[in-house]
Amino acid sequence: MQALPLRVLVLEDHLFQQTVAASQLKQLGCQDVFSASNGAQALEILQRVGPVDIALCDLHMEGMDGLEFLHRVARAGLVGAVILSSSLSEDVRRAARQLVPLLGLELLGDVGKPLRIDTLEALLKKHLYKPAVTSATLKPFALAGIDEVRSAMQHQQMETYFQPKINLLMGDVVGVEALTRWNHPSGEMVPPAVFMPAIESSDLLNDLFFTQLNHGLELQRQAWSRGHLLNVAFNLEPVQLSNPELVSTIKNVLYGYGLPGSTLTFELTESGLLEASATCLESLVRLRMMGCRLSIDDFGVGFSSLQRLCRLPFNEIKLDGQFVRGLDEPRCRAAISSTLALGATLGMSVVVEGIETPEQHQQLLDLGCAQGQGFLFAKPMTKQDLLVWLETRVMPDTII
């Protein structure tokens, strides 16, 4: 067995299971394996031997439990990554899985019990052979300040990409979502999470939006000339809707392209709509009066979803991709089914995000979902790539 240059701590209060876990780790070739029966004992070991790469951690035990242990080692920097191993119910473990990254620790996986050596081996290798992050990769990300972002926009480095929305029953493309990617001079494709905070904190939000809008309308016109009718969705922030001139400007841009408002969808995250101003609400109503669709994005991850649906004129729900990733869990399936039923009752279409596998696609069909998007169908692509894709794409085998 190849030696793995890993230091691993086993935190398990059941002596037999602790022994089995330590034995499997040694069998897999781990450099150093330490064992503890509770959090306090584990902390003493770490203070004596120093930090470890991975903690294989149970949650429920006498004395200092696994959660308190993780809090302490995260603050002290004594553990790099965590593998959860617990016999607690799935809903409790699911919440624990969400907690680990919030503590600043890497979650490698949740192996449950009994522990399987093949599963453990896969997680160890996942940690050991993850792609290296080089200084060249990090450089453009670290420089994403307001001045550089403004320069990037002036030099047209911000490019609009489009990700298709699919009719899950027939395989037809029902629309696309416009997304921005930064083609950095270094050759890196910088993700929105790096540059959007700078854009949102400056006066560049509308500049980016209207650049996207023009790119999307150009795509629409070219796609229509080839026989493809595409609705294009754009993300809007509530602060933009508070500008009383926004809707009239959108209307003028549409007029210049000779396109109706019904060809557009505007997506707004529910978390940004906690306090909708009078001007914001009026803008939403005027967009609907123009025939535009309004979509509440990332549905299910905020705190006031139902209130927003009742008070604001949305006609589409975009269900966050975290529910698709949890399709094997009864609660996530129930949440999806309930959202589909809610959409049908309110006369709203439901689009499910984050579909990545044929199995997820089939499960969503079984639940009655009709629209979705995700890497199973297509990743975001440039305008020219999308036009080629529309002409040459092959329907997935799972489409019925």
Pick the CATH number of 135-392 from 1.20.1250.20, 3.20.20.450, 3.30.230.70, 3.30.70.120: 3.20.20.450
For residue 291, give the nearest of 329, 327, 265, 317 by alpha carbon.
Answer: 265
223 has a pLDDT exceeding 90? yes
Neighbour-count burial for 353-381, b at 16+ CB within 10 Å, e otherwise:
bbbeeeebbebbbeeebbbbbbebbbebb
Domain boundaries, the chain: 4-128, 135-392
Q: Say yes or no: do domains 4-128 and 135-392 share a fold.
A: no
Active site residues per annotation: 353
For residue 71, give the nearest of 111, 99, 34 by alpha carbon.
Answer: 99
Mean pLDDT of 51-70: 88
344 has a pLDDT exceeding 90? yes
Q: Say what the pTM is.
A: 0.69
Q: Which residues are CB-neighbours of 360 under 8 A, at least 6 positions away? A: 324, 327, 374, 376
Q: What would the pLDDT profile of 86-128 be if each residue is shown by its tens digit?
A: 888 887 888 788 888 888 888 998 988 888 888 898 888 877 7
Q: What would the pLDDT profile of 2-12 be if each residue is shown by its tens digit?
A: 567 889 999 99
Class of domain 4-128: alpha beta
Q: What would the pLDDT profile of 188-214 be if each residue is shown by its tens digit?
A: 787 787 788 788 877 889 999 999 999
Task: Kindly state the percentage of the chain with pLDDT values over 70.
Answer: 90
Q: How many CB atoms lie within 10 A of CB 100?
A: 21
Q: How many CB atoms lie within 10 A of CB 290?
A: 15
Q: What would the pLDDT profile of 14-24 be if each residue is shown by its tens digit?
A: 999 999 999 99
Handedness of CA 185, 190, 194, 196 (dihedral sign): positive
